[in-house]
Amino acid sequence: MFLRSFLSITFIAGISVCAAAQAPTPVLVELFTSEGCSSCPPADEFLRALDAKQPIEGTQLIVLGEHVDYWDDQGWRDIYSDHDLTLRQAVYVNRLGLKSSYTPQLIVDGSAECSGNDRKRAIDVIEKARAQAKVPVQISAARFENGKLRAHIETGTLPENGEVFVALALDHAESQVLRGENGGHRLEHVAVARNLVKVGKAGKGATFAKDVEVKAKPPAGPYRVIAFIQESSLGKILGGAEKAVTAEKATP
């Protein structure tokens, strides 16, 4: 009886280990885009397809649309643009040794880039990124209170010094563009970053656990919360997770 029980426990434990080993590897795909750029709608469509179809087996693609503001004086102001995202892209450009920022640009796991319209190259880069081991990241107790997202973020042990970021992103957005290069077109977006903030950091060999809050920007949700660990100075992504969350309803 003892042997049978032992074998049963071992078998069940083996299934658990196998299931854990098969958990999809998160890969963060950031798209720097703008409603004022005529080359961006196909890249926005590609990002939506990556999010919806999850085409890479064994991989969880965590997508994030980051609208820059340097197109805003070209005939159409993108309401989702944020100068902080322009600055984030500029850091990537400098670190990756590029000549200048451009749209649409994909940054995969903070370590490689390509045009958002070069789909073959993007898939190749994602395939390479998914081979990297990742630190577990967990988002829990996510809720809205008084116009702010509150959540608990927890990570596994970091292999390198890292910074923890939280993005509050619109799950889906649409715009009727009236002027500029995309004038007359209705554009669709996914996972539109409305607030992307650094909430803390942790050293090599340490973990991170903290209750955080992020201010919501209009328009209202539904949202997704994206949390990720990144090597200092916008280096490679060490781990990430996302979670759907619904904004609080306004009180009459």
- Asked if residue 13 is part of any domain, the answer here is no
Instruction: Kindly state the average pLDDT of the residues 126-151.
Output: 94
Q: For residue 56, what pLDDT is reported? A: 94
Tokens of 70: 């340097």
Tell whether the model's pLDDT for residue 16 goes beyond 80.
Answer: no
Domain hosting residue 59, numbered range: 25-245
Which of 168, 159, 44 has its CA nearest to residue 106? 44
Sign of the CA dihedral running 122, 123, 124, 126: positive
- For the ranges 5-9, 13-17, 145-149, 172-176, the maximum mean pLDDT occurs at 172-176
Give 196's pLDDT tier (boundaries 50, 70, 90): very high
If you average pLDDT over every residue of the chain, what do you get? 90
Residue 240 lies in a domain: yes
Is it the case that residue 7 has pLDDT exceeding 80? no
Instruction: Supply 237's token pair.
Output: 């992504």
How far, in Å, CA of 90 to CA of 96, rounded?
10
- At 74, is the secondary structure helix, strand, or coil? coil
pLDDT band at 12 (very low <50, low <70, confident <90, very high): very low
The model's pLDDT over 55-108, given as tens digits with 9 standing for 90+, comes to 999 999 999 999 999 999 999 999 999 999 999 999 999 999 999 999 999 999
CA-angle at 199, arms to 248 and 193, nearest 5°: 55
CATH of residue 83's domain is: 2.60.40.2550
Number of structural domains in the chain: 1
222-242 pLDDT per residue, tens: 999 999 999 998 999 999 999
What is residue 21's predicted lDDT score, i.e. its pLDDT? 52
| Residue 99 located in a structural domain | yes
User: Contact at 8 Å (CB) between 134 and 157?
Assistant: no
Whether residue 11 lies inside any domain: the answer is no
Q: What is the pLDDT of residues 59-74, one digit of tens each?
A: 999 999 999 999 999 9
Alpha-carbon gap, residue 152 to 173, rounded angstroms: 26
Q: Concatenate the DSSP letters of all residues of 190-239 into one string.
A: EEEEEEEEEEEEE-TT---EEEEEEE--SSP--EEEEEEEEETTT--EEE
Domain for residue 250, yes or no? Answer: no
Residue 220 lies inside a defined structural domain of this protein: yes
Residue 122 forms part of a structural domain: yes
Residue 6: inside a domain: no
pLDDT bracket for residue 220 (50, 70, 90): confident
